[in-house]
Amino acid sequence: MSGFHTAMELVLQGDASLYAIVRLSLLVSLSAVVIAALVGFPFGAWLALTRFPGRDAVIIVLNACMGLPPVVIGLAVFLLLSRSGPLGSWGLLFTPQAMVIAEAILVAPIVAALARQTIEDLWLEYRAELEAMGATPLRRVGALLWDARLSLLTVLLAGFGRAAAEVGAVMIVGGNIDGFTRTMTTAIALETSKGDLPLAMGLGAVLIAIVVAINGVVWGMRSYGERKAG
């Protein structure tokens, strides 16, 4: 319970560094989700609508990638972005951008795999009708993405959950630098290692509250959308 009290105190005091950490966490997670969506939705839609030899294998690999170990991705991105790595000249290691890259790689397969399933289900339903309407392939994909938007919103939520809860990869590529790359999760890890367990629990409670709030907002959007579009 002391964690809950600490959480209340943190929020009520309006601790500036807490807000900075929350802001960075949201910024990194949401940016990663947006990038993952820009890559994952078109890829998922393409995979849902095309048939080619080896498609099953691609789907299996994609589904498996939903469980990519964050630490491995973190390490791979670290080695890529390190000054001694191939992309070292970008100077991105230990920056929020590096964290966004790692998170986007973790989230993109989730978005693509779940979008593929969602869109394929809808395609089976819509196929005859869209063909009869003479819709071009581009228009078909557009219709499927738009009409599946409420389900795809939930897909984004799953991706966001993964990004917001992740600690291993962001710790490695971000370095948990105070005021610069410290997120909710790395701050919790740090406070735990400092033995300040109530503060760690307090931060944890704040993180959970934020995730719940975002889910609530999305749920509201879904319900509204469903009333409007059926």
Partner 1 sequence: MRAPASDLPIVLAAVGVRAGTQDILRDVSLVFQPGAPTAILGPNGAGKSTLIRVAAGLLQPSLGSVTWGGLSAKSLQRRAIVFQRPVMLRRSVAGNLAFALAAAGCPRAHCAAAVERLLARVSLGALHDRPARRLSGGEQQRLALARALAREPEILFLDEPTNNLDPAATKAVEAIIRDADASGIKVVMATHDLGQARRLCGDVVFLANGAVVETAGAADFFSRPRTEKAAAFLRGDIVE
Partner 2 sequence: MLRRRLFIAGLVFATLAPCAYAQDKSIVVASTTSTQDSGLFGHILPLFKAKTGIEVKVVAQGTGQALDTARRGDADVVFVHAKAQEEKFLAEGFGVKRFPVMYNDFVLIGPKADPAGVKGTKDIVAALKTIKAKAAPFVSRGDRSGTHSAELRLWKVAEIDIAKDKGPWYREIGQGMGAALNTAASMEGYVISDRGTWISFKNKGDLVIAVEGDKRLFNQYGVMLVNPEKHPSVKKELGQAFIDWLISPEGQKAIADYKIDGQQLFYPNANDPSA
Which residues of this chain interact with partner 1, rule CB under 8 A? 125-126, 128-136, 139, 143, 147-148, 150, 227-230
Residue 125 or 178 having the CB closest to partner 1: 125
Distance CA 228, CA 226 (A): 5
Burial class (CB in 10 A: 0-12, 13-18, 19+), 13: exposed
Q: Which does residue 147 touch among partner 1, partner 2, none (CB within 5 to 8 A, set by kind)?
A: partner 1
Residue 142 or 220 having the CB closest to partner 2: 142
CB 10 within 8 A of CB 83: no
CB 74 within 8 A of CB 102: yes
Q: Which does residue 177 touch among partner 1, partner 2, none (CB within 5 to 8 A, set by kind)?
A: partner 2
The nearest distance, CB 51 to partner 1, in angstroms, is 16
Would you state the structure tokens that stand for residue 120, as one six-digit string? 């394929």
The nearest distance, CB 55 to partner 2, in angstroms, is 27
Q: Which does residue 132 touch among partner 1, partner 2, none (CB within 5 to 8 A, set by kind)?
A: partner 1
The nearest distance, CB 195 to partner 2, in angstroms, is 3
Residue 162 or 182 having the CB closest to partner 2: 182
Per CB under 8 A, residues contacting partner 2 are 27, 30-31, 34-35, 38, 82-85, 88-89, 91, 93-97, 100, 142, 175-178, 180-181, 190, 192-197
Distance CA 178, CA 228 (A): 45
CB 99 within 8 A of CB 174: yes
Q: Which does residue 91 touch among partner 1, partner 2, none (CB within 5 to 8 A, set by kind)?
A: partner 2
Q: Which does residue 228 touch among partner 1, partner 2, none (CB within 5 to 8 A, set by kind)?
A: partner 1
Q: Which does residue 25 touch among partner 2, partner 1, none (CB within 5 to 8 A, set by kind)?
A: none
C-alpha count within 13 angstroms, C-beta hemisphere, residue 17: 8
The Cβ of residue 131 has, within 10 Å, a number of other Cβ atoms equal to 10
Distance CA 152, CA 141 (A): 14
Residue 136 or 193 having the CB closest to partner 1: 136
Among residues 174, 159, 169, the alpha carbon closest in space to that of 76 is found at 169
Q: Could you give phi then psi for residue 66, rounded to 5 degrees? A: -65, -25
The nearest distance, CB 44 to partner 1, in angstroms, is 18
The Cβ of residue 217 has, within 10 Å, a number of other Cβ atoms equal to 11
